[in-house]
Amino acid sequence: MASIPKFLLLLLCTYLHTLVAHGGDNLRSYKVLHAGSLKSATVNCSQPKAVSSSSGGVTVPLHHRHGPCSPVPSTEAPTLEEMLRRDQFRAAYITRKYSGVMGGAGDVEQSDVTVPTTLGTSLGTLEYLITVGIGSPAMTQTMLIDTGSDVSWVQCKPCSQCHTQADSLFDPSSSSTYSAFPCSSSACTQLRQSQQGNGCSSGSQCQYIVKYGDGSSGTGTYSSDKLTLGSSSVSYFQFGCSQSESGNLLEDQTDGLMGLGGGAQSLATQTAGTLGKAFSYCLPPTPDSSGFLTLGAATSGFAKTQMLRSSAPAYYGVLLEAIRVGGRQLNIPASVFSAKSIMDSGTIITRLPPTAYSALSAAFKAGMKQYPPAQPMGIFDTCFNFSGQSPINIPSVALVFSGGVVVDLATDGIILDSCLAFAANSDDSSLGIIGNVQQRTIEVLYDVGGGAVGFKAGAC
């Protein structure tokens, strides 16, 4: 398996189940950052591929792509600096696209809106994957998950140019339930209407294309087949059968992408009729641990805030109203958060309006005076030197969402490689993004039917 870089090991040795999601104010002022052994804990990867959930849905184990349970070919994990560089591209793209669709600042070029799966440099910011079966008989496919994408796709035979992947290429000719959509189908019409078609002529098979901000792309046939999730299955699952790729997409080593966005083509939307209009996931705190994805999730037991939808259907919006440090709410004007935020599984670091980030950084530094500052690293400008320090006490940080929902972050969601794990976006009118570092260990619920996003503490 791939070697685990320094910052991922730090996440492992700092893990604490101290995250609380609630509607009250009982927050501890400080948390202890434990600097224990750098040795990885024993990992048990022999889990069932999927289990039924108590709600009647289905739960699939979820792993980090560079962790010991990852089935993708062994490669060297990117450095933190490289991940932050890629993350900046993704965050900038999402902000630009969302703002353009909403009619706000930052127009989106036509070439950028071909599909909502455009991620900036590559799939490199996506970190979490699931294993499913496609076809009859089912062929194992290992796919990255992304709440910012709608169209799911896997590499298929015959493929004129494809990347190395974890499993065999999906072979449509070996599946008795495979079907390519004709251009005249409603699914293809819907694909074209959402600007995800690829020049389909009458009487031929429906073609799709995914384009990325670095110029790389994947194209193939828009299709349907049986999707297997353990003992459960989804008939007529719609996905792209990728038969040609270019650019940096050829460097990826997973089998494809599973879109969990809010658009018509996403897995979440396709399973809403059979499994229910809610799904959830828990992103593990370290690459050495496992999380889960649940389709048809139960919606009780969560602290819920309103889900904000827009004409950019792939994204799930929320309203961040305040930030607390050391149990005290920061003096940030409410108007600073008026641009709203989105929950995104693919963005790594949470982006805040500059005014909010400055207040957070200043308050956090004030609570960290006992530790000397360290040089900035990439987009991180609030860093500390913890050499020879043990234990390390850091102020608590909580995000307050509409409806009085308070999410008290675990140490994993506050400090990343000795730096405050937040960044500022371009200006106070820009969209905020709640990244996956701040989501780790929380079960995040997307209750589309109920119009809510929920949080449950310490779920994985």
Please give the positions annotated as active site: 146, 344
CA distances from 144 to 125, 148, 153, 346 (A): 10, 12, 10, 9
Residues facing 182 on adjacent strands: 205
Q: Under a CB-based contact definition with an 8 Å cutoff, are residues 91 and 425 in contact?
A: yes
Map tokens 């599946």 to a residue.
175
Structure tokens at 171: 């072979």
Of 161, 87, 34, 163, nearest to 350 (Cα)?
Answer: 87
Collapse the DSSP code of 172 into the 3-class scheme (helix H, G, I; strand E, B; otherwise coil) and give the result. helix
CA dihedral 18→19→23→25, nearest 10 degrees, is: 40
What gap in Å lies between CA 383 and CA 364, rounded to an integer? 10
Query: Phi and psi for 84 in degrees, rounded to 5?
Result: -70, -35
What gap in Å lies between CA 7 and CA 41, rounded to an integer? 16
CA dihedral for 311, 313, 314, 315, sign (positive or negative): positive
Q: Under a CB-based contact definition with an 8 Å cutoff, are residues 94 and 315 in contact?
A: yes
- What kind and span of H or E run contains 81? helix 80-101
Q: Under a CB-based contact definition with an 8 Å cutoff, are residues 27 and 327 in contact?
A: yes
Of 251, 222, 223, 253, nearest to 236 (Cα)?
Answer: 223
Of 194, 196, 208, 212, nearest to 93 (Cα)?
Answer: 212
Collapse the DSSP code of 248 into the 3-class scheme (helix H, G, I; strand E, B; otherwise coil) and give the result. helix
What gap in Å lies between CA 426 and CA 306, rounded to an integer? 25
Determine what percent of the chain falls in helix, strand and coil, rounding each to the nearest 5. 20, 35, 50
Collapse the DSSP code of 327 into the 3-class scheme (helix H, G, I; strand E, B; otherwise coil) and give the result. coil
Structure tokens at 326: 């050391």
Residues facing 420 on adjacent strands: 415
DSSP string, 94-106: HHHHHHHHTTSSS
What gap in Å lies between CA 417 and CA 421, rounded to an integer? 9
